[in-house]
A and B are shown apart, each in its own frame.
Chain A
Amino acid sequence: MFYNWTMRTIDTRQIGDCVYRLALRAGTRMTDPCRAALENARLKERGAAQYALSTVLENARIAQRECLPVCQDTGMSAVLLEVGQDVHFTGMLLGDAVNEGVRRAYRDGYFRKSICDPLSRENTGDNTPAYVHIDIVEGDHVRITYLPKGFGSENMSRIFMLTPAQGKAGIVDAITETVRLAGARPCPPVVVGVGIGGCFDSCAFLAKKALTRDVGSAHPRKEVREIEQEALEKINSLGIGPQGFGGNVTALSVQCEVAPTHIAGLPVAVNIQCHCVRCEEEVL
């Protein structure tokens, strides 16, 4: 028997503190690639559509300068943890530590508490519980990605269980149709996260994970990249435009993540993100 001397011990309080920092930062700032994409989109629009983009860019500047929530929907907290398998956690339960970080950030940041019971609609009062996803990976690090997700856009998300015969064309149609049906409601120009493959629930997670990529980043695999580009072109010919005011830019980016699936299926999940991507990451 070997004793693993490389085991690294991390007090979960450190995880909570990190989530706290990430949540405060994410709530008050739009990511740089998102801002660059919006500035680029502004050049392609006129009239009310351009006015809408100028307003959201000005808003992002105000929010960052004054440390104010960039959008009042400070979202449901998605916390993606990549945990090296040589890490040993001590202290409170990992999930409790994450929620503690969220709780303090939403209090100290004057963020809106948006989480409630689905039936009674009673607010939990502190924006917990967060949605926590854990992947075990090689190494002794912990990567924490924090994505606060507003529900104006989340509500417009869909999942499709396509048949293998529908193939790439079916995937592109599913993505485009989801954005078309969403119309002005999710605060376009949107960022579209797409999961392709896996099973019903892992496919939906892939779609969310895709939203943590930099806006405008392309998938390394050529076939996937082609789907991203083709779907983006089709979406931008819909004419919905910024805020639904009509125009050339309905989506800033389509970002797909893939995973092996069953021979009988082709799951496709489409997770819609509004024009204001807020996402922060840290590695411990």
Chain B
Amino acid sequence: MKTLSLPLSAAEILSLHAGDAVSLSGTLYTARDCAHRRIFELLDSDMPLPFPLAGAFIYYAGPCPAPAGKASGSCGPTTSARMNSFAPRLLGLGLGGMIGKGEMSEEVRAALVKNRAVYFAAIGGAGALYGNAVKKSQCVAFPDLLSEAVYRLEVEGFPLVVAMDAHGNSIYDPAAPVSLQAASGRTERK
């Protein structure tokens, strides 16, 4: 398993291939449906964004409230496909990549290649495990959206799999290598 710390260099991003297992640490920003709509409204009216996009990673997630003594409640990924219409523009503005679950569109694939960015899959449903890997959490925008607000997370050792890489490969493609570090075979999809 590769160990990576954010921000990622261009060389690090280019070294990643769909199917690679990665342990990621550093700063992430959560944003899902409603937060993306608000970010787009800010972009359309030339207003400052809640966080600098350049090199940043967005985590498609809406965490549970933090119990006493914890930085975050359960914090697994949400379905990325709902953000298909948002991701290409943000990638064009320098976003380093995204973390979520499930396949994303061909437009997203093209934008990842064009902007040398990466889309990681977190393991959907593993909320408690990801929540425990969050060491700090702070709401930085849209607090009225509750769990859908933008949170700045400091994470340690997020277990991820490279889902769509900067070379145009996707783990969700029928012919994709699905083995971790391409170590073992798979069933062909029909």
- Where the two chains meet, the residues of A that have a C-beta atom closer than 8 Å to any C-beta of B are 46-49, 51-52, 55-56, 58-59, 62-63, 66, 68-74, 110-114, 121, 123, 125, 152, 155, 183-187, 237-241, 243-248, 274-276
Contacts and interface: CB of A to CB of B under 8 A. Distances in A.
A246 B126 contact: no
B45 interface: no
A74 B146 CA distance: 14
Interface of B: 19, 21, 34, 61-67, 73-76, 78-79, 81, 101-103, 121, 123-132, 145-148, 159, 161, 171-172, 174, 176, 178-180, 183-190
Given A121-B34, A239-B190, A184 B129 contact: no
Given A62-B132, A70-B127, A184-B172, A47 B74 contact: no
A49 B180 CA distance: 9
Contacts of A68: 64, 67, 73-74, 127-128, 131-132
Contacts of A52: 123, 161
B178 A48 contact: yes
A62 to B, nearest CB: 5
A238 B187 CA distance: 9
6 contacts: A63-B128, A72-B61, A72-B76, A186-B79, A247-B186, A274-B124
Contacts, number: 177
B178 A246 contact: yes
Contact of B187 (A62, A69, A123, A239): A239
A239 B176 CA distance: 12
B41 to A, nearest CB: 14
B98 to A, nearest CB: 15
Chain A interface mostly helix, strand, loop or mixed? loop
- Of residues B65, B130, B159, B178, which shows the largest number of chain A Cβ atoms within 10 Å of its Cβ? B178
Chain B interface mostly helix, strand, loop or mixed? loop
Nearest to A183: B103
B128 A246 contact: no
B188 to A, nearest CB: 6
Contacts of A46: 179, 184-186
B64 A69 contact: yes
Nearest to B131: A68
A72 B161 contact: no
- Of residues A48, A113, A185, A246, which shows the largest number of chain B Cβ atoms within 10 Å of its Cβ? A48
Given A52-B123, A73-B78, A185-B79, A59 B128 contact: yes
A71 B147 CA distance: 14
Nearest to B186: A246
Contacts of B159: 55
Given A112-B62, A152-B102, A246-B171, 14 more contacts: A48-B21, A48-B179, A52-B123, A68-B73, A111-B64, A121-B34, A152-B101, A184-B101, A184-B102, A238-B190, A239-B190, A243-B124, A246-B176, A275-B125
A63 B174 contact: no
Contacts of B78: 73, 152
B61 A48 contact: no
A70 B125 contact: yes
B179 A187 contact: no
- Of residues A184, A274, A276, which shows the largest number of chain B Cβ atoms within 10 Å of its Cβ? A184
A58 B129 contact: yes
Contacts of A247: 178, 186-187
Contact of B21 (A51, A125, A184, A274): A51
A244 B125 contact: no
The 5 lowest CB-CB distance pairs between A and B, nearest first, are: A239-B189, A47-B179, A59-B126, A187-B124, A246-B178
Contacts of A123: 145-146, 148
